[in-house]
């Protein structure tokens, strides 16, 4: 019976040691997961930074496009004004050509 009483604490200690080894392994797994989480957070920060840079570049390109659009609108306005001036000058020239032809025909008839 004395041997039975001695074996109980030994079995109990073996069980506790086994549970502590399991616990140590689980803590190690948790530490590994913490490392993976930190790594993933670092990668996420890198992606956030890259995305921020892309957004900034996109905004710059978009601003450039708007500037070119505004320049295009202004150039079209100038083109329309020049076309109107050409039509006016062409009309004036045609009027002068008719007057010159009229004067020539009067001189010939004289």
Separation CA 85–CA 28 (nearest Å): 85
pTM check: above 0.85: no
Give pLDDT tens digits along the chain (110 positions): 445 556 677 788 888 888 988 888 888 888 888 889 999 999 999 999 999 999 999 999 999 999 999 999 999 999 999 999 999 999 999 999 999 999 999 998 87
Q: What is the pLDDT of residue 58?
A: 96
Separation CA 104–CA 110 (nearest Å): 10
Q: What is the pLDDT of residue 1?
A: 47
Q: What is the pLDDT of residue 5?
A: 57
Q: What is the pLDDT of residue 4?
A: 54
Separation CA 34–CA 90 (nearest Å): 82
């Amino acid at each position: 019976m004395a041997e039975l009483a001695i074996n109980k604490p030994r079995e109990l200690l073996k069980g506790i040691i086994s549970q502590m080894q399991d616990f140590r392994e689980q803590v190690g797994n948790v530490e590994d997961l913490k490392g993976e989480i930190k790594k993933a957070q670092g990668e996420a920060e890198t992606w956030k930074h890259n995305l921020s840079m892309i957004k900034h570049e996109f905004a710059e390109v978009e601003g450039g496009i708007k500037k070119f659009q505004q320049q295009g609108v202004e150039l079209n306005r100038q083109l329309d004004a020049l076309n109107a001036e050409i039509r006016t000058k062409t009309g004036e020239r045609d009027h002068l050509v008719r007057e010159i032809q009229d004067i020539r025909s009067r001189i010939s008839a004289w």
